[in-house]
Amino acid sequence: MAMPASFSLLLSLTFLTTTSHFSRAFSHPHPHLHQLRASIRQSTSPAANGGAVMPELWCVAMNNANSSALQAALDWACGPGGTDCGPIQQGGPCYDAGDILTMASYAFNDYFLTHGLTDDSCNFGGTAALTSLNPSHGSCKFPSR
């Protein structure tokens, strides 16, 4: 079974997000990444695909991310990054003190969605990547674009 070109591009894009997110002063080592993401946004609109709906995207923490880097990225997202971290606070639907990956993923995804799907809005120092697999579970619902 052949994989659609736009889905293949989406999978390739996941591996291209390797720049630091903490400062916009860093240059992006993949200068064409913004063009790829723009192409994906255009190709995922139903009008561009003859009415077909393409996969949704979520920004999630990478399961092989260094735990201290992941914690620093989560702290940044919930602090200076301005992410809505209410759902990952104690008592929230996505709170799990023993699962930093889920909590960071929620914060990263919120930041990604509220900052316009830009080149650096899903990186967080190399601790995050895009996925088309919905990370929602139980009462913890991850919005998508």
The per-residue pLDDT for range 62-108, each reduced to its tens digit, is: 999 999 999 999 999 999 999 999 999 999 999 999 999 999 999 99
Please give the pLDDT value at position 72: 97
Question: Between residues 17 and 87, which one has the greater pLDDT?
Answer: 87
Cβ atoms of residues 57 and 132 within 8 Å: yes
Give the span between the Cα atoms of 45 and 77, in whole angstroms.
28
Please name the helix (run of DSSP H) or strand (run of DSSP E) that holds residue 35, with its range, or none: helix 33-43
Instruction: Kindly tell me if the per-residue pLDDT of 46 is higher than 90.
Output: no
Instruction: Please name the amino acid found at residue 142.
Output: F
**CB-based contact 109:4 (threshold 8 Å):** no
C-alpha dihedral sign at 11, 13, 18, 20: negative
**Considering the entire predicted model, what is its pTM?**
0.66
What is the predicted pLDDT for the residue at 117? Answer: 83
Please give the mean pLDDT across all residues of the chain. 75
Q: What is the mean pLDDT of residues 34-49?
A: 48
Q: Give the pLDDT band (50/70/90) at residue 120.
A: confident
With 90 as the cut, is the pLDDT of residue 128 above it? Answer: yes
Type and span of the H or E element at 12: helix 5-14
